Structure 1
Amino acid sequence: MQELTEARKIEGQANNNGYDLAKYGCDKSEMGSFSGSVLFSLLASKDRDFLLSPTGTQVKILELKGKIVAVYFSANWYPPCREFTPVLANAYVQLKNHDPGFEIVFVSSDEDQNAFDDHRASMPWLAIPFSDLETKRALNRRFDIEGIPCLVILQQDGNFEETTILDGVDLVYRYGIQAHPFTKERVEELVQLEKDEHENQTVKDLLTNRERDFLLSHSIPKQLPVASLIGKTVGLYFSAQWCTPGLKFTPKLASIYQKINQEMTVNGNRDFEIVLVSSDRSQTAFDSYFQTMPWLALPYGDSNIKNLTKYFDVRGIPALVILGPDGKTVTRLGRNLVNLYQEDAYPFTEARIELLTKQIDEEAKKLPESEYHSGHRHELTLVSEGNGGGPFICCDCDEQGAGWAYQCIECGYEVHPKCVRAVCRE
């Protein structure tokens, strides 16, 4: 009964949009098949009942009936889309070999036909013609698309609303083809498996493999057993020489690393270590970058690098994941904590950060309510996360910030309080 009601609803929407299902060979008796009518209403227009194949031929929309269909919102001009598209293409090819009943439809946000053609050239799936602006706008409204890339996955059964998954990009990044058939039950199963895996992780399991049980070291004999890290707080540093933010953050992290260990040495122990997880594109680049660091590293091109990147869901670098002495994950936001609290962040636990937050809140009471900063022409106002502020990128040091900030109400400029270089202005 629910399917029939929804089907009639879609039929009404189709007629209101100006196209006739019967015109395209869709018998009204088929309207009881919820998925077929929904897909048609979503993807067709009054003058079009087809999609474009990778070769430019026309594929009837009704051929998608009964399939799992992912609607891919993307654009060639946006780097995250260009980064995700080959990841999705690889998963698509694997899935099509496993399940022919899976398809993707590209919805472009490109600015012109040439950009659309260039972007579509890297896609082995179907697409809505670039000229059909009306359908593209309707799909953006229908799924409330606020950012790209976005992958909306539609199931083939009748329960359309409940089985629509809006975070397909996240699923593909985190689980790849293991997410198939993209039902909520499968996602919940994967989340539980991931949770169990993280709860049982050890430093040895994360950093060794069948061929290697050591890390690279600067000191002779240039190799250090992974077992020597057991019982220590360990930072996994995801970075690369080609990454400009990484080049800026690495010296800061190196200084903080040395300060933490100097203090520990005075106290008779050295229980903090960092391991480089490199995304460098050549051995030469890796060697050059590693020489600037006082810590350990996984070998260049090691198989664990890709596994760790996926396991900790690292989407951008530099990133710093902190493991506790028991080998469990303390936080994946180590970079943020280093920027906010420097060496005081150690050992990065919730209790430590809570204490530091309270201290900063107390110190903020002594800060001026407004300041003029030498790097900005307008007056800056002190704000907190609960009073007009929130997570931000400092316009002075280009690093993340949270909690307290000096903010320009007029243009949105924000800096850490510690980055303010106060000047007097009449």
Structure 2
Amino acid sequence: MENPSWQERLFGRELIKCVTVTKTNDFELVYTSQILKNVDYTGIYFSFANIKLQRDEYTKKLQDFYERINADNDAKRFELVQVVLWANNDVYSDFEQSHTDSLWNLPWFAMPFSEIELKTKLSRRYRIKSGVTTLVLLDKDGSTVSFSAQDRVLEDPLGAYFPWQPRPVDQVLKDIELQPCGMYLQEHVGDTKSRCVYGELPEGIKGFYFSANWCPPCRAFTPQLAEVYRLIRKREPGFEIIFVSSDRSAESYAVYLESMPWLSIPWQQISIRAELAQLYGIRGIPTLILLDRNGHLITMDARTELAEDPIAQNFPWKPRAVNILTERFATKLHDYPAIILFVEGEETEVQFGESVLTPAADSYYKQHNINFNTPQEEFVSTCSDDYYLQFLIGVDTETSDILRDLIGLDDVVPLLVAIDIPNHRFAIMEYGVEITGDSVISFVERFEKGDLQFRNIRQRVLESDNNV
């Protein structure tokens, strides 16, 4: 059997043909692979059924755009898959009917109501905010062209510049003079340049800090970031951060700058700040992203990385084969299975965990052509969800305790477990087997083949509830 296409992995095997939807909830299903196989660009339209009862104005404008962009082409230039979500679960008593109402008489396709898990996974993958209508644009290979193309539809309703390929960051900032923040000269002793242009900055890793003075979490994070910034620059003088403001007034912006030791996009460059936010699909603040020396994205979540690594020991926080089980990686368990080694929290135990998990992780990723050294945008587009497996070390934390309680794991260490929440199953390495690099590799191989003694997670939870 052939591996599913990236379209099928994203949307499932079948899609609803919206023009066939009736008021009685009847509709025709079509194969995803056939509909999207020869399409140049695929849009994922995230809408919310219970935001407005009537067909909203944006959907009408998107329909006009869709019909116009495909009017003069024999081959489908642009196809759309609608993903209907709910901002609040207490508005509709009949969720399935509201789903149908959202699709009636539209010219494109939609994910079926029943694909709840896939929809949730898509929402996490593209960082969709509840209640915010979003259009994600993908190319032929499934790579992301835009995380927020909904604005482009309104700005370019005739599609003159479609598919709105984003300019790389060095082009966006090519002619922009960056503004030193209030503490910049104190941190850059000897810097006497009268002009500061992005292309002339020292070679090194760059951070873009999306933040605002009106945002309490931003104001709390900025001093922490400043301390880590100073720490990193002692080791890597070429490291620089550029502040991208979401402040609501020039006065608020000016006040906020005084607490920062880095550079800033000038307040008056409104379109540049907006373009940077669109380029990286910024959904909320504070957000800190890191780019490598070639302008490729290293991480979209440097804020969380910093919180978990406050002395920046692992800077620049590139993807790693083996990670500590934190809340961030626990969230990913809903999308991807994991091999988890539970140990005590001492540093020697963590080192032991890395020593036995790393050979298995390296072997697994090499076998499935998963390369953590590629730029993140390439990694996301080339990494098949079917083969992505996390390797985690569970230390003595609340996150580990919650997961152990959910699965019903004995409170012993070391304990090696395969947890596959997407398929509602888990398996434990047999007691008495020594945990070594070789035994972990064998355990992973058996997991792939389905040869482990799996238990049903749902059944285990029911058993736990019955025993309470």
Please identify the structure whose Cα radius of gyration is greater. Answer: 1
TM range (shorter): 0.3 to 0.5
TM-score, structure 2 length as denominator?
0.42
* More helix as a share of residues: 1
TM-score, structure 1 length as denominator?
0.46
